[in-house]
Structure 1
Amino acid sequence: MSALAVRQHSRRPLGADVESADQPPSTSSIAYNGARRVLDGNWTGTSTVPSHALYPHQWSWDSAFIAIGLRHLSPARAQRELETLLTAQWADGRIPHIVFNPTVPLGAYFPSPDFWRSSSAGDLAGAPTAVETSGIVQPPVHALAALLVHEADPEVSRRRGFLAHVYPRLVAWQRYLTERRDLGGRGLASIVHPWESGMDNSPCWDPPLSRIRPADRGTFQRADLDHGCPADRPTDLDYGRYVRLATTYRDHGYADGPDTALFAVEDPAMNALLIASEHALAGIATAIGADPSDHLVRGEQLTTALLKRLWNEDAGLFLCQDVISNEPIRERSVCGLLPLILPGLPEEVVASLVATLRGEHFGVGTTTRLAPSYDLRGAAFDPARYWRGPAWFNVNWLLERGLRQYGETATADALRDELLGTAVTSGFAEYVDPVTGEARGSRDFSWTAALAMDLAVRSR
């Protein structure tokens, strides 16, 4: 078992617990049953949509987090979730951030398949022809998800040949990121679009985005505002820049290179999850009788590069690096805390990360219920607007794992309890106000439900 693997737990549904007449259902039980309702409702038969209204297709890192929760409900269904996603992998190894459902009308989501034109614009990069996808990626949570799904029921996994099937695909995905996306030449992967970070609208992207001329507002039609409050969503200016970047990347055939990238940032969260995936792949390799040493060595090398390149002692967390200007981006984002999930960090780095998480900039355990996505004291902080302050469940789930790994049990327990309670009271919201817990974005959001299910089972 890898250093990042969790211990196996009983999968007996929490809803099956018998509650006495004078003892109300526990928060864990309510969360589990609510999460099961959401996941069943968002299941399409082959995968799970994040939200039927706002996100009606399959998303990459969403499916990884969803599989982590689904493993407690149905390991076979969790395996299917990941397998479905991997059928859309490109020949160059990339896993696209969206796999489009052809039965969904084009106007239901933008950018739609006719914008990305993956099967034609991406032909030189090996885009699949049987399905339309986007051309950008999202953080690599997939190997960790695959290992946890396998460990939930190794017998079912071995019978289906699950790990043997996904392992070479996951290795190819890792190598795409470590080789084709090392745009800075210093051993770390770069994102070429803010959407690739998963933290789409973070203030961290404002400095490099300021160089981008936005697409004309009349050239695209946003669909997100039909289903979400404008105050919760990115501005038209930001969206115009996102569209310009995606259009340029598409028109260059989705080719990766330092000479063609208009936006290139080394993101500590993306790279932390890349390293976590190497450790998970070591666990997968061991499970199928392969040699794990290459993954362990790569994990160590990447960790060394992360510490050397992105750690900032004065800020007390990791900073993003603008590869084009070769300057650090001096914004405190929760992405700079996520390396806490990695094993073997220096003690002083761990202590500083935990202090920053608890301190005035993020306030966990003092002023906030959940870790905000951005610095509470930052000039761009907004508790409502997409990734500019609200708390997200997947990020806090990762932080809970990191805290627990380094023996910060009391803080991890408190964060877990807040996650479970807030998931229930917010209606399994996409994200929430970090101080009040007020629901924002979509409701009945799949990764919120899936990760609440995981925490509910692990809290027993």
Structure 2
Amino acid sequence: MKNKAIAILDANWRNGYSVPSKNLYPYQWLWDSGFIAIGFAHYDMDKAEKEIETLLDAQWENGFIPHIVFHQLSDSYFPGPNFHRADLHPLSNKKYPSTGMTQPPVTGFTIEKIYQISKDKKASLNFIKRTIDKVFKNHEYFYNNRDPRNEGLVYIYHNWESGTDNSPLWDSIFETMNPPVYTFERRDTSHVNPEERPTQREYDHYLHIIDIAKSHNYDDAKIAEHSPFLVQDPLFNAMLIKSNHALINMYELIGGNESKIEQLKSWNAKSIASFNSKLYNKELKAYVHYDLRNERPIKLVSSSSFSPLYAGIPTKEQAAELIETMQSKFGGDSMYLLASFDPTSEKFNPKKYWRGPVWINLNWILYYGLQDYGYKDLAQQIKFDSIEILDKVGFYEYFDARKSEYKADSKGYGGSDFSWSAALYLDLINN
């Protein structure tokens, strides 16, 4: 399996960056690149560093990093650069066409993880020195442009920015919208089973939000004022806080940079306080999303609800409650950990993208988070469940959480030969 994982990563490498899956996702994705670089670090440090450097080369002048970088034209993915029109923003990157939205900011903890894995610390420290200020500038962008109330919690304006694209979390927001019906040709459903993907009507909502952002030239203040989708997401904010921690550690290693270290500590202090007062739901014993546009918490539990463990956000008491919720709703002998959405909910769909399947990247996040809080046995269970699923069906994009669904000829869902599944497998077996 290790050799297979390496072969997939090498096959998906495109001379400076990786594609997540050859036909389904033919470009460079932000958070994919972070996880992929961690996998590369275990056997090819040059590719690990290049993956991140290429991503950061697509950064905008204001620090923004887009969620897709369109390195070449491809007719196998919609919507492409001609729909997104990121060039409408005056500070967009002139070298690379991209989207005008971002993804969970994993780059900070990625570069720290690369350094931790590295056998040549001196060379890897030089890599950190080349990249860290760009990552800091990305974090500065978020707090300056995506936190209109100065709470330390940044907003996302599109479900694609969450990384959890079609989660039931967004259903109540889409119910407040009535977008036009778009005429376009889906490309994803020609590569994978349409039953595993978002519906055509869901795509109407997705495209409509992009059109609203385009109509304001991707201006963050205007988006905050006009976008029907405006959410404080615990997964997104936890990744930002974790990456802040990582930048503090790396700046302390480099030496100097006291003002940046103080700024990062200040951001985290405010963020964690707001996180626990606003996003922790005592009734559900879990972190929830907050719908900033409609001023209401989204009282649903998903794998994102537990991601703050990875960033050291919960108190010990909150962590214990999170574990209780995880085991009561997501556990049991018949289920692999961890479904992406609450299996006890009527909205749970074990085959459909982010509406229920297991995702290796969220499992990886939770594995490390549970370890940090001392829940070693549960961390090991998530690790072993992840490895067992991959051993049974291979390196797919996402997987059924129901153990009963795994037969001799079973396959995973979504894209095959999926890069981050292969990359994070390499990291898990090395720990």
Category of TM-score, reference length = shorter chain: over 0.9
8 Å Cα contact 1:214/1:242 also seen in 2: no
8 Å Cα contact 2:152/2:268 also seen in 1: no
Please report how far the alpha carbon of residue 301 of structure 1 lies from its aligned counterpart in structure 2 after TM superposition: 1.9
Distance 1:344 1:255, change over 3 A: closer
Q: How is 1:399-410 mapped onto 2 (pairs within 5 angstroms)?
A: 399-410=366-377
Match of 1:248 in 2: 212
Please report how far the alpha carbon of residue 184 of structure 1 lies from its aligned counterpart in structure 2 after TM superposition: 4.6
Q: How is 1:96-245 mapped onto 2 (pairs within 5 angstroms)?
A: 96-102=66-72, 104-105=73-74, 107-119=75-87, 121-122=88-89, 124=90, 126-153=91-118, 155=120, 158=123, 161-218=126-183, 220-245=184-209
Equivalent-residue separation in structure 2 for 1:348 and 1:385 (angstroms) = 33
Distance 1:407 1:243, change over 3 A: same
- Paired residue for 2:285, among 304, 316, 328? 316
Equivalent-residue separation in structure 2 for 1:159 and 1:317 (angstroms) = 37
CA RMSD, 1 decimal: 1.6
Equivalent-residue separation in structure 2 for 1:100 and 1:156 (angstroms) = 32
Q: Secondary structure at the match of 1:250?
A: helix
Q: Secondary structure at the match of 2:156?
A: coil
Equivalent-residue separation in structure 2 for 1:405 and 1:299 (angstroms) = 18
Q: Secondary structure at the match of 1:108?
A: coil
Match of 2:350 in 1: 383
- Paired residue for 1:281, among 247, 252, 263? 247
Match of 2:399 in 1: 432
8 Å Cα contact 2:153/2:232 also seen in 1: yes
Please report how far the alpha carbon of residue 154 of structure 1 lies from its aligned counterpart in structure 2 after TM superposition: 6.5
The number of residue pairs the alignment matches comes to: 420
Q: Does 1:366 align with 2:333?
A: yes
Match of 1:5 in 2: none
Summarize deviations over 1:5-46 as a string: whole Å, max 9, x none.
xxxxxxxxxxxxxxxxxxxxxxxxx3x222111101111111
Equivalent-residue separation in structure 2 for 1:242 and 1:50 (angstroms) = 21
Q: Secondary structure at the match of 2:330?
A: coil
Equivalent-residue separation in structure 1 for 2:373 and 2:244 (angstroms) = 19
Please report how far the alpha carbon of residue 75 of structure 1 lies from its aligned counterpart in structure 2 after TM superposition: 1.7
Equivalent-residue separation in structure 2 for 1:344 and 1:63 (angstroms) = 25
Summarize deviations over 1:132-151 as a string: whole Å, max 9, x none.
00110000111000111122
Q: How is 1:435-454 mapped onto 2 (pairs within 5 angstroms)?
A: 435-436=402-403, 439-454=412-427
8 Å Cα contact 1:403/1:412 also seen in 2: yes
Identity %: 35
Match of 1:3 in 2: none
Counterpart amino acid of 2:396? A
Equivalent-residue separation in structure 1 for 2:124 and 2:148 (angstroms) = 40
Equivalent-residue separation in structure 1 for 2:217 and 2:314 (angstroms) = 38
Please report how far the alpha carbon of residue 188 of structure 1 lies from its aligned counterpart in structure 2 after TM superposition: 0.4
Q: Does 1:47 align with 2:20?
A: no
Equivalent-residue separation in structure 1 for 2:165 and 2:124 (angstroms) = 39
- Paired residue for 1:86, among 56, 75, 84? 56
Counterpart amino acid of 1:215? P
Q: Secondary structure at the match of 2:353?
A: coil
Counterpart amino acid of 1:449? A
8 Å Cα contact 1:430/1:441 also seen in 2: yes
Summarize deviations over 1:203-247 as a string: whole Å, max 9, x none.
1111112222223232x2211111111100001111110010011
Counterpart amino acid of 1:43? W
Q: TM-score when scaled to structure 1?
A: 0.88
Please report how far the alpha carbon of residue 343 of structure 1 lies from its aligned counterpart in structure 2 after TM superposition: 2.1
Residue range with higher mean Cα deviation, 248-257 or 288-297: 288-297
Summarize deviations over 1:67-117 as a string: whole Å, max 9, x none.
111110112210110000000011111110000122x32x21111011112
Please report how far the alpha carbon of residue 357 of structure 1 lies from its aligned counterpart in structure 2 after TM superposition: 1.1
Match of 1:24 in 2: none
8 Å Cα contact 1:35/1:450 also seen in 2: yes
Residue range with higher mean Cα deviation, 148-157 or 283-292: 148-157
Distance 1:88 1:195, change over 3 A: same
8 Å Cα contact 1:184/1:190 also seen in 2: no
Please report how far the alpha carbon of residue 160 of structure 1 lies from its aligned counterpart in structure 2 after TM superposition: 7.8
Please report how far the alpha carbon of residue 50 of structure 1 lies from its aligned counterpart in structure 2 after TM superposition: 0.2
Distance 1:407 1:35, change over 3 A: same
Equivalent-residue separation in structure 1 for 2:159 and 2:194 (angstroms) = 19
Please report how far the alpha carbon of residue 130 of structure 1 lies from its aligned counterpart in structure 2 after TM superposition: 1.4
Q: Secondary structure at the match of 1:321?
A: strand
Q: Secondary structure at the match of 1:217?
A: coil
Equivalent-residue separation in structure 2 for 1:40 and 1:48 (angstroms) = 9
Please report how far the alpha carbon of residue 156 of structure 1 lies from its aligned counterpart in structure 2 after TM superposition: 6.0
Equivalent-residue separation in structure 1 for 2:99 and 2:229 (angstroms) = 17
8 Å Cα contact 1:362/1:371 also seen in 2: yes
Q: TM-score when scaled to structure 2?
A: 0.94
Distance 1:203 1:184, change over 3 A: farther
- Paired residue for 2:231, among 265, 270, 286? 265
Q: Secondary structure at the match of 1:73?
A: coil
Q: Secondary structure at the match of 1:276?
A: helix
8 Å Cα contact 1:184/1:323 also seen in 2: no
Equivalent-residue separation in structure 1 for 2:187 and 2:142 (angstroms) = 30
